[in-house]
Amino acid sequence: MDAIETYIRDILDFPKPGIVFKDLTPLLNDAKATTMCLDALLYQLGGAKIDKVVGMEARGFFFGTLLAQKLNAGFIPVRKPGKLPYKTLSETYALEYGTDILEIHEDAITKGDRILIHDDVLATGGTAEAVCRLVERLGGEIVQCNFIMELEFLKGGEKLKPYSIGSVLKY
């Protein structure tokens, strides 16, 4: 995984002072690195059957769609309010200062669908936890929550304890 890590760029003080942002655009800019990362994400699944991949806006869409294609599964976008055109379910979740909302189409999951939840980074876990609640409200069975990077010091994995978590890189 060291080879993948070389494609992750640290941006100091973004989006605000004191934050070190993990930028994956250099990874996306290199076809071999993208393939290597995709293969690592797939490996974490251990051959598990997946019906649908749920990706979070917006960086979860990059590899979420690639995962869905490789798994011969559907892709479901989860977005901020007002971005999805059909009837939605919404879930409010806590941020460091305040709350936010995520939405999913109400017909995106059929009861019993085996779901892979994907995002680029697991930080505090609030976003992933909210998506898990949406998936379960629609009757989906969460097979794994998987991430390119996990910021372990933020302890987001604690919010996802009932679920299998896969992370290619850990910081």
Q: One of 59, 114, 133, 136 is an active-site residue; which one? A: 59
For position 1, what pLDDT does the model report?
64
For position 137, what pLDDT does the model report?
98
- Confirm whether 79 is a catalytic residue: no
Q: CA of 90: how far to CAs of 70, 125, 165, 170, in Å?
A: 28, 17, 23, 30
Domain that holds residue 165: 47-170
**Does residue 88 lie in a domain region?**
yes
For position 94, what pLDDT does the model report?
85
**Does residue 41 lie in a domain region?**
no
- The residues that bridge with 55 in the sheet, in sequence order, are 77, 118
Residues 20-61: tens digit of each pLDDT: 999 999 999 999 999 999 999 999 999 999 999 999 999 999
**Does residue 42 lie in a domain region?**
no
Q: One of 5, 9, 57, 96 is an active-site residue; which one? A: 96
Strand 9-12 relative to strand 20-23, pairing:
antiparallel
Domain count, the chain: 1
Here the contacts of 89-92 (C-beta below 8 Å, separation 24 or greater) are 89/134, 89/137, 89/138, 91/130, 91/131, 91/133, 91/134, 91/137, 92/130
**Does residue 60 lie in a domain region?**
yes
**Does residue 89 lie in a domain region?**
yes
**Does residue 79 lie in a domain region?**
yes
CB-CB neighbours of 105 under 10 Å: 17
Helix (H, G, I), strand (E, B) or coil at 35: helix
Q: In whole angstroms, give the CA distance from residue 35 to residue 48.
A: 19
Q: In whole angstroms, give the CA distance from residue 41 to residue 159.
A: 21
**Does residue 24 lie in a domain region?**
no
- Confirm whether 59 is a catalytic residue: yes
**CATH number for 162:** 3.40.50.2020
**Does residue 93 lie in a domain region?**
yes
Strand 114-122 relative to strand 98-105, pairing:
unpaired
Q: Model pTM? A: 0.95
For position 87, what pLDDT does the model report?
98
Residues 106-142: tens digit of each pLDDT: 999 999 999 999 999 999 999 999 999 999 999 999 9
